[in-house]
């Protein structure tokens, strides 16, 4: 079974960041995605969907510094549903995307030559999903395979 969400959209508001008593950091923000289509008359229409997004710990701290209202963002996560009671005691239900990765897509300030679209050290996926073994320094990596031995009497045209 798979529960995976991938969104590319624009932030509807600055991330709302809270620091909990146990030291955990959580950020919430909304992301708008647009779908364009032609209606029956041939006119282009845009349908906007709003998604509530939650990020935790290091991602929440990054969201606080890197994201702001109107920013374009790519994010991956999972869809969650939770119920809670409002201040009047009414049962409420909400659907959220709990993001495990995000990448700001806007051009970075200061004329960064990569236009903010290429990975940086801040963009590494969580270590729980990927693992890379450290490279050995003692053995040099071979860059090209050895050339096959050629027979001088070989007269094949290819």
H or E segment to which residue 85 belongs: strand 72-85
Residues in the chain: 158
Q: What is the CATH number of domain 5-36+45-109?
A: 2.40.50.140
The pLDDT of residue 150: 52
Domain ranges of the chain: 5-36+45-109
Please report, rounded to a whole number, the percentage of residues in the chain having pLDDT higher than 90. 65
% of the chain with per-residue pLDDT over 70: 67
Give the C-alpha distances (Å, rounded to integers) separating 115 from 33, 67, 134, 146. Answer: 22, 16, 30, 39
What is d(CA 114, CA 107) in angstroms, rounded to the nearest whole number? 8
Look at residue 106 in the predicted model and tell me its pLDDT.
75
The predicted model scores a pTM of 0.65
Residues 22 and 57: beta-carbon distance below 8 Å: no
Q: Indicate if the pLDDT at residue 153 is higher than 70.
A: no
- Cα distance between the two ends of the chain: 50
Give Cα 154 distance to the centre of its chain: 54
C-alpha 112, offset from chain centre:
20
């Amino acid at each position: 079974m798979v529960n995976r969400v991938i969104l590319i959209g624009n932030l509807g508001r600055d991330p709302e960041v809270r620091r909990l008593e146990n030291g955990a950091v959580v950020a919430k923000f909304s992301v708008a995605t647009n779908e364009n289509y032609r209606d029956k008359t041939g006119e282009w229409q845009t349908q906007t969907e709003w998604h509530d997004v939650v990020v935790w710990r290091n991602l929440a701290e990054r969201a606080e510094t890197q994201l702001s209202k109107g920013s374009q963002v790519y994010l991956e996560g999972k869809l969650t549903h939770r119920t809670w009671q409002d201040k009047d005691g009414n049962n409420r239900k909400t659907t959220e995307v709990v993001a495990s990765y995000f990448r700001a897509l806007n051009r970075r300030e200061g004329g960064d030559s990569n236009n903010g679209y290429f990975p940086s050290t801040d963009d590494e996926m969580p270590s729980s999903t990927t693992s890379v073994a450290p490279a050995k320094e003692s053995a040099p990596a071979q860059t090209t395979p050895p050339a096959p031995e050629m027979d001088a009497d070989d007269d094949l045209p290819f």
